[in-house]
Amino acid sequence: MRCSGVVWRARRYSMSTDAQDARSASISSPIQEGPAKGMFSSAELCYLSIAEASRLLVSRDLSSVALTTAILQRISETESRVHAYVRIMKESALREARAADERALRGARLGPLDGIPIAVKDLFDTAGVVTAGGTGAYRERVPVDDATAVRRLREAGAVLVGKTNTHELAMGGTTNNLHYGATHNPWRLDRVPGGSSGGSGAALAAGQALGALGTDTGGSIRIPAAFCGVTGHKPTFGLVGRGGVIPLSLTLDHAGPLARSAEDCAIMLSALAGPDENDLDSAAPPNRDYAAAVTESVAGLRLAVVPSLLDSCQAAVIENFERALAVFQDLGIILDECEPLAGLSDDWRGLVGAILRPESASYIEQVLIRRPEAIGEPTRSRLREGLEARAVEYARALEARKRIEQRYELALQRFDGVVVPTSPMVAEPIAEDPSDEPQIPIRFRNTSVFNYTHQPAISVPNGSDTDGLPTGLMIAGAKFNDSLVLRLAHAYQQLTDFHHHRPSL
C-alpha cells in the first residue's frame, strides 16, 4: 500500500457545462415538498423520489393507486423504445397499491416503502411469476417462494410492478440479451444501459419505477447506475440476503438497491438488510435505519483518490470526476491519494472471470451438459471455460481476492472512504449481434475492486459528456460502514442536481 501525504487539489470547474445547460433546459425543476393535490403531471409522478412520494402518501395528497397507475402508463408509453422489462405484473401491482391505500386510510402504513412502485431484476425469485435469469434455459421457471429481498420489500408494503431485463445469467455488462432482446439506454436509445442490471437502471431513468432491485458481481448495480444517470448502491457483502437469487458467483455476488438518490437507496436498504437463513454468507448486523443517518455532517472526513483507477478514463469522465472532488472540498472533506494495491501484480484485474466462471458453471452444470443450446453465446462458452477451470487456479484467485480485501481494509484505517469514477467510460453503442458483442474489460475495472474487497460502494450521477451520456461517481467505505457511504453520497447530492436530470423520452 502506498499513500501520499500531499492533499489532493481538485481542479475547479463551473457547475454547468454547455452540454449540461442544453440538457437541463428541457428538464423540469425538482418537485418540492408539500405540493397540493392535482399539481402533478403523469410524468412528474413517475420521477418522484421514494422519499418525496412517501411524504405525499402520508399526507394523502397522493394515492398508491394513482402513482402505480402513472408508472404503468409510463411503461406502456416508453417500453417499446426502452425494453427495460421482460414481464409486467400489472394486476398484482394494482392489488398491492389498493392494499397500501387501505393501510394509509387506517393510519397503518408499514413504512416509507409502503405503496411505492419498485422493479425487480429477473434474477430474484418471485412466487408464481417466471424468473428466467435472462436465459432461455429457464423460460418456464416459476418459483414457489419469493427471494428474501423480494419478501422483505413485500413486507415493507412495496408495489412490485415487474421483472427487469438482465444480461444472460448476469454474465455481462450490456444487457444485450440474445433471448429477451436488448435494453436501450433512455439517454441515447442506440446505447447500452450497462449491465447486468441494465433493465433496472433503464427503468428508473425512463420513469418506469421509483426504485429497483439489482445484483452486482463486478459492477452490475453501479455501472447501469452510472450509464443511466441514476444512483446504485452495492452493500457490504452479506448485508442483503441472496436467498432465492439465481447466482453468478457466491464469492462476489451482492444484492442491493437502485433509485434516484442516495436517500432513496438508504430507505430501500433499511428494508432489505438483515439476516437470511438461505444465504450462507449472510452477515447482517442488527437492523438499523440507514436513512436516518444520511443528513449527518461530512465535514472533516478524509477520502482517498486512487490514481491508478483514473488511468485511461475518457476525458468527460475525468472532468466530471474532478468537478465532483471540488464539491467534496466545498463540503469540508479532505482529499488525499492512496494506492492500496501498490506492489501487487496487475493480475488482479482478471480475477472476476477466474472466480465467477467456475462458480457460475457449478450452478448451471446440468443445463450445460443436457441442454447447452438453451444458453446463448458467448455466455455458454464462458461457462464451459468455468467447467474446465483448474482447481489450483481457482484457489489462487480466491487467495488473491483476500489479499486485495486486506489491502483496502488497511487503507481505510487511515481514510473514511475512497472516491473514484464509477467506470472509465460512458455507454457504448448496442451491438447488432449480442453473440458477437465485443468485450470491454475496462468497463468493470473500477467497480470490480469493491466486489473483491466486499466493501460497500455507491454510484451517483455526476454529469455527462458532450453527447449527453451520463457519467458516475463512486464512493466506497469500510465493510459494514454503508451508512457513511450513503451519507457521503447524500451530501454530494445536496450540492448538485444531476440526480434530478432526466432524459427527454
| Residues assigned a catalytic role | 121, 196, 220
Give the Cα separation of 190 and 234 in Å (integer): 27
Give the Cα separation of 225 and 200 in Å (integer): 9
Give the position of cell 412517501: 54
Phi-psi region of 9 (alpha: psi -120 to 50; beta: other; left: phi over 0): beta
User: To 10 degrees, the CA torsion angle through 494, 498, 500, 505?
Assistant: 180
In this structure, the strands spanning 334-339 and 302-305 are: parallel
C-alpha cell at 284: 447482517
C-alpha cell at 464: 455527462
At CB < 8 A and 24+ separation, what contacts does 29-36 make?
29/500, 30/497, 30/500, 34/59, 35/61, 36/61
C-alpha cell at 304: 482517498
Rounded to 5 degrees, what are φ and ψ at 409? -65, -35
What is the rounded end-to-end Cα distance, in angstroms, of the chain? 46
Q: Which residues lie below 8 Å from residue 431, measured CB to CB, with a gap of 6+? A: 174, 176, 437, 438
b/e sequence 63-75, b meaning 16+ C-beta within 10 Å = bbbbbbbbbbebb
Give the Cα separation of 279 and 245 in Å (integer): 10
Q: Is 143 exposed, middle or buried (0-12, 13-18, 19+ CB in 10 A)?
A: middle
